[in-house]
Structure formats: C-alpha cells, structure tokens
Amino acid sequence: AQSVTQLDSQVPVFEEAPVELRCNYSSSVSVYLFWYVQYPNQGLQLLLKYLSGSTLVESINGFEAEFNKSQTSFHLRKPSVHISDTAEYFCAVSDRNTDKLIFGTGTRLQVFP
C-alpha cells in the first residue's frame, strides 16, 4: 500500500530565511504528487501538484517542489519565507489506479519575525 512520510512534524524558521519541507513516498508505480496547505481553522488548499512532465513545479506564492523518482521524494522549498506562510503543510500521493489521496502526517511551518 502507498504511504507518505513527512519526517519533520515542526519546522521553525525566521522570516526571509529559506525552508525545505521533506516528503518521501513509497511506491513502485507511477504516482501523482501534491502539496496542500492548511491555515488555522481552514480546510486544505492545493499548493502545487506533479502529474507529469517537468519534475520541478511551482506555486503562485513562491513555493516549489521537485519530483525525484530515484529517491521517491517530493520536497517543498521556498527561498525566502514570510510570516504569512505559517501553516500546516501536507504532502499527498495518489497512485494512478485509484481516486484516493494518501496524506502524510503534516509539517507545521512556523515563521518567526
């Protein structure tokens, strides 16, 4: 069965510093990969996705993630974070045979001034 590992439950960082949130998945078949963000007391919002094509995908607010098939990873990065990026970030994987998404346990990003 598919699984997703987010190794870091919390990542504290100062404003304008770079950040990387790690995500690894277990799969021997082709997958679709997603990062979702959850702000306090809100639902999950899609941040970016990898379906096919270029392995580097970007969001509109400066985040990017790179699909690495050999390392089965899909790490999320941002070169300079803002206070407003404080949220919980979930990595998710969907195999190409079902409609289900398997979510990681989430990483709480806290940005300090």
Partner 1 sequence: DAGVIQSPRHEVTEMGQEVTLRCKPISGHNSLFWYRQTMMRGLELLIYFNNNVPIDDSGMPEDRFSAKMPNASFSTLKIQPSEPRDSAVYFCASSSSYSGRAYEQYFGPGTRLTVT
Where along the sequence are the contacts to partner 1 (CB under 8 A)? 32, 34, 36, 42-46, 49, 51, 90, 94, 96, 98-101, 103, 105-106
Cβ closest to partner 1, residue 21 vs residue 81: 21
Minimum Å distance from CB 37 to partner 1? 11
Q: Torsion angle, CA of 101/93/108/74, rounded to 10 degrees?
A: -170
Cβ closest to partner 1, residue 70 vs residue 98: 98
CA distance 110 to 2: 28
Cβ closest to partner 1, residue 42 vs residue 80: 42
Cβ closest to partner 1, residue 45 vs residue 71: 45
Minimum Å distance from CB 38 to partner 1? 9
Minimum Å distance from CB 113 to partner 1? 27
CA distance 48 to 26: 20
Q: Of 103, 80, 79, nearest to 92 (Cα)?
A: 103
CA distance 93 to 101: 6
